[in-house]
Structure 1
Amino acid sequence: MIFVFPPSVQAAIASGAYEVVKNGAGVALGMARDTATGQFVAHAVGVTAQPFLSFAPLQIGLTGMQMAQTHLGFQKTYSMLNDVLNTVALLQASTALIGVGTVAGVGLSAFNIWQTLKLREDIKQLRLEVKDGFIDIKRALHDQSQEILQRIDRMSEDIEFKHHQTILSVSYGKFIEGIKRLEYALKLEDSNSRREALFGVENTLYDALANYNNPALYQQTSAAGQLRRMECSWVIDQTITTIYQIREEHQVVSARLSDLRKKIRDSSLQIIDRCECDNELDFLFPEVMRIHTQDLPLLESWQNQVDWMKSLSPSELQELASLELPAEESSAATENINNPAEPPVELSLYETLKQKSHYDSLRDQLRFIVKPELRQHHESYVFQRANATGYPALAPSNWQEVPDLTVANLYHYFKQQERYA
């Protein structure tokens, strides 16, 4: 994880005057300090890539003390939570076209990772409106094929879609209520009143999360649709964790982040196992890859920062809390996210892999990204079959140098040979 700091701080880091803070394991954290004095000097203002889901409080480096002490801290966090609300609206709106009811699956290309990133930017720039937790799908996809537009028209009559829309509209309303209550809670000057109000916010958000995790939402839903539903719940889960961080419950924050990371990995594997066709894999591969190469490392970094803060002395915590908060993200230092006008790197990489592989191999490669230790079974099988069939050159002694593509392709090559032997 590479953090981005304001230009003056970046320059000082480059010169050696400042350094990025690291924990005891040598993992970089989202802040910098003076190399000579060890004094904290700045929070990071971003990371080198745009996550797909995480709004990540470490992106602005706010601790509970800062949240409680500064109105600016709340303004920045509330702005981020607004983005989260919009992200959830976009994710749940897309499931109507890709995984629910009679039109399931027709809109996979219309709502792929690239299209989603562009639509998220449209919402941020107010070119698209969120209403009752949904966006106007037909307006958002006005440039798509006539077939998709016609199916969008028929979608409004689909009973299954109406059922999902009702549940999610209510759930989204609870999510909005929780965010509004958070706004009022952080304006309270009395610490006891603020803490009590935050408990109420937490309960509201838990109610919203329970609705998004409702098993009824996953019945007769495609793998792509399930991914989008789960993405909504993961985002809300992060929001709840932020409440614990505001209350400075660092032990709980760390445990929740650990649980969420495991949940994302486990759920991703279940979704991959449910993938049934090339079109679905075309949708899933780049998005799951981005979540596991960008969002999960960001969540891990957040957890590392929280764990590190538990080791600080009261004076160090006070020093950290007194740091000036980063300026608005319009700074040139934060202009590092992927340009929605260009395809995301995950999509480009997937297109390259498709030219060199096939469906079964690609699905295994995605599993390896989610859980690298799954490669060991494939490596062992390739090693045994290569030696048994007189191809010892295909049984490398150092598997670390062999890319996932090669391992998966060889595995399925020998499987096919064994099948027809």
Structure 2
Amino acid sequence: MDYIFTPATQARLNSGNLVQPAAKTGKLLPAARDPVTGEFVEIAKIFYQSTSRTLCDRGVIGLLAQLAGGGPVQPLVAPVYVTVAPLQVAQTHQGFQKIYRMLNCLKINLAVMQATAAVMGIGAVSSTVLSAVNLNQVLKIREEAKHQKLKIKDGFIDLRHILKDRGVEVIQQIFKVAHDSSFEMHRQKLVNGYDIFSKAVKRCQSALTVPDLKLRNSEINSGRNMLFEALKIYDNPSLLEGLCSAGQLRQRECVWAIEQAIGVTLQLQRAYDTVSDRLLELHSKIRQDLLSVVKECQSESELDFLFPEVTRILGHDLSVIEFWQNEVDWMQTLSRKEQHQLASLDQLHGDNLKSSVHTKFAVLAAEVSLYETLKQKSHFLSLRDQLAFALKPEIRRRYEFYVSQQAIATGYQALATSNWQEISDLTVANLYYFFQIRDDSNENYPTEDELQTPSRHFPKALKNELNYSN
């Protein structure tokens, strides 16, 4: 993430008169501090990174940073309020309001995700229906729900009105799912789970107004127990049965939202070690869940849905969760006095909170533009693998080894590079399938000039034998 300070503060940082604190991982935090007095001077606004200085330069996240540049952090599932300023829980009105909003944000996200999943239903779904609830659409739906323009009933939102312009097929799909007996059992489980989740959130929010600390903690404990009960319902593997990969992603997103709500309740009680551990586990779980979803992707229409959304989660949501964890670790090093000083400073920056959170979404998400650009240079299997590389870079090494061996065996010595760090994921995946085609058939395989757009050369019988779990 990029931190944006006022020009005056940035000048003092550049001169060394102010310093930025760092988490134990070495990553800088969005605060400016006087190194002599120890006083905090300013809390920065936080933006999505405009440059990338890691190996992700060669993959989809690096390409996204180049395409989109800097901008407000707008995660899909994570509560955006985590990124506004250091999340402190000092006993201030501003601090409690932030926690209240975070929990409410998670509740809205959960309803939006399962409502759009309900449009898909169980089984295969057309590209038209998937496009009606894709990344751009879900951002619009969430914005409408935030401003209370859409009503949530039993954990679901009736999307017929907002999706009426998406075509007759979409409306027919909504009615079809509504009368599908197999999905009705699925829906009822989610209705029960959301009811428990909603009551748990309200209980935790009410606990913030209780002046007695012992009673407040008791109420938070009770609310968290209810959250674990809701999590048990949502995280049941049976809810994934029969869903296409896009539907599975939506279901998993619901689980992540509940996990984050549990983390918020623990942070309210200053259980920083526990929060840090759970966030670390959640970060790993999200990556593994996404990899499982990508592995289940069986069609180009599903990838059209998944690629932009998975990229958004990688670039924004996981960054937010990592930032949250770093912040929690840092909070443990601060005294109560320092935490209260941060709280007072945060209160002075209330306008920043409002302007950052309510930034309007882009007409077209940068992730969608990136995907359309990559589609012109690649094909379904290669694009799916590039997404897998971003989720688990170790997978790419097997491709590099295969390409090196095949390049040597077939006389393409220039492709048998030893410096793979400079080669993009796009090139590695395309080269892999270039040589796969040569193995599959000695006739009509693509030339080097045709490598950038090889999809038309791929025989229908081509199978991907990769094991993503390794």
What TM-score results when the alignment is normalised by the length of structure 2? 0.82
Q: Which residue of 2 aligns with 1:410?
A: 431
Deviation of 1:37 after TM superposition, in Å, equals 3.6
Q: Distance in 2 between matches of 1:234 and 1:20?
A: 31
2:81 matches 1:59: no
User: Any idea what SS the aligned residue of 1:3 has?
Assistant: strand
- Could you tell me whether the CA contact under 8 Å between 2:42 and 2:345 is conserved in 1? yes
User: Any idea what SS the aligned residue of 2:31 has?
Assistant: strand
1:199-222 CA-to-partner distances (Å, cap 9, x unmatched) read 101101111111111222111111
Deviation of 1:151 after TM superposition, in Å, equals 2.2
- Could you tell me whether the CA contact under 8 Å between 1:113 and 1:283 is conserved in 2? yes
Q: Distance in 1 between matches of 2:188 and 2:168?
A: 27
Structure 1 unaligned segments of length 5 or more: list them.
none
1:350-407 CA-to-partner distances (Å, cap 9, x unmatched) read 0100010011100100001111221111111111111111001112232111111001
Q: Which residue identity does 1:327 align to in structure 2?
A: G
User: Any idea what SS the aligned residue of 2:209 has?
Assistant: coil
Q: Distance in 2 between matches of 1:308 and 1:295?
A: 20
Q: Which residue of 1 aligns with 2:398?
A: 377
2:409 matches 1:388: yes
- Could you tell me whether the CA contact under 8 Å between 1:385 and 1:414 is conserved in 2? yes
2:73 matches 1:49: yes
Give the percent of matched residue pairs that are identical in Structure 1 and Structure 2.
43
Deviation of 1:411 after TM superposition, in Å, equals 0.7
1:277-308 CA-to-partner distances (Å, cap 9, x unmatched) read 00001101110111111111211111111122
Q: Which residue of 1 aligns with 2:33?
A: 33
Deviates more, 1:42-51 or 1:376-385: 42-51
Q: Distance in 1 between matches of 2:130 and 2:300?
A: 11
Deviation of 1:4 after TM superposition, in Å, equals 4.6
CA RMSD of aligned residues (A): 2.2
- Could you tell me whether the CA contact under 8 Å between 1:101 and 1:159 is conserved in 2? no
2:134 matches 1:109: no
Q: Distance in 1 between matches of 2:307 and 2:120?
A: 15
Taking a change above 3 Å as real, the CA distance of residues 331 and 151 of structure 1, as seen in their structure-2 partners, is: closer
1:129-187 CA-to-partner distances (Å, cap 9, x unmatched) read 22221111211201111121122222221112221221111111111101110122111
Q: Which residue of 2 aligns with 1:354?
A: 375
User: Any idea what SS the aligned residue of 1:20 has?
Assistant: coil
- Could you tell me whether the CA contact under 8 Å between 1:101 and 1:161 is conserved in 2? no
Q: Which residue of 2 aligns with 1:290?
A: 312
Partner of residue 230 from structure 2, selected from 208, 212, 215? 208
2:422 matches 1:397: no
Q: Distance in 1 between matches of 2:376 and 2:389?
A: 19
Q: Distance in 2 between matches of 1:299 and 1:86?
A: 18
Q: Distance in 1 between matches of 2:399 and 2:218?
A: 53
Deviation of 1:107 after TM superposition, in Å, equals 1.5
Q: Which residue of 2 aligns with 1:96?
A: 118
User: Any idea what SS the aligned residue of 1:356 has?
Assistant: coil
Q: Distance in 2 between matches of 1:168 and 1:350?
A: 32
- Could you tell me whether the CA contact under 8 Å between 1:30 and 1:58 is conserved in 2? no
Q: Which residue of 2 aligns with 1:13?
A: 10
Q: Distance in 1 between matches of 2:344 and 2:149?
A: 38
Q: Which residue of 1 aligns with 2:195?
A: 173
What TM-score results when the alignment is normalised by the length of structure 1? 0.91
Taking a change above 3 Å as real, the CA distance of residues 207 and 329 of structure 1, as seen in their structure-2 partners, is: farther
Deviation of 1:42 after TM superposition, in Å, equals 3.6
- Could you tell me whether the CA contact under 8 Å between 2:403 and 2:416 is conserved in 1? yes
Taking a change above 3 Å as real, the CA distance of residues 38 and 50 of structure 1, as seen in their structure-2 partners, is: same
1:250-273 CA-to-partner distances (Å, cap 9, x unmatched) read 110110001101110111111111
1:218-257 CA-to-partner distances (Å, cap 9, x unmatched) read 1111111010000011011001001111111111011000
After superposition, where does 1:109-258 map in structure 2 within 5 Å? 109-258=131-280
Deviates more, 1:50-59 or 1:154-163: 50-59
- Could you tell me whether the CA contact under 8 Å between 1:178 and 1:201 is conserved in 2? yes
Partner of residue 266 from structure 1, selected from 284, 288, 309? 288
Deviation of 1:60 after TM superposition, in Å, equals 3.6
Aligned length, in residue pairs: 413
Q: Which residue identity does 1:22 align to in structure 2?
A: A
Deviation of 1:321 after TM superposition, in Å, equals 4.5
Deviation of 1:36 after TM superposition, in Å, equals 5.3
Q: Distance in 1 between matches of 2:395 and 2:324?
A: 26
- Could you tell me whether the CA contact under 8 Å between 1:88 and 1:235 is conserved in 2? yes
- Could you tell me whether the CA contact under 8 Å between 1:133 and 1:173 is conserved in 2? yes
User: Any idea what SS the aligned residue of 1:22 has?
Assistant: coil
Deviates more, 1:107-116 or 1:21-30: 21-30
- Could you tell me whether the CA contact under 8 Å between 2:121 and 2:183 is conserved in 1? no
User: Any idea what SS the aligned residue of 1:349 has?
Assistant: helix
2:333 matches 1:305: no
Q: Distance in 2 between matches of 1:321 and 1:284?
A: 39
- Could you tell me whether the CA contact under 8 Å between 1:104 and 1:222 is conserved in 2? no
Deviation of 1:93 after TM superposition, in Å, equals 0.7
- Could you tell me whether the CA contact under 8 Å between 1:97 and 1:103 is conserved in 2? no
Deviates more, 1:152-161 or 1:102-111: 102-111
Deviation of 1:18 after TM superposition, in Å, equals 4.4
Q: Distance in 2 between matches of 1:226 and 1:396?
A: 38
- Could you tell me whether the CA contact under 8 Å between 1:101 and 1:158 is conserved in 2? no
Deviation of 1:41 after TM superposition, in Å, equals 2.7
Q: Distance in 2 between matches of 1:278 and 1:109?
A: 12
Taking a change above 3 Å as real, the CA distance of residues 320 and 366 of structure 1, as seen in their structure-2 partners, is: same
- Could you tell me whether the CA contact under 8 Å between 2:85 and 2:346 is conserved in 1? no
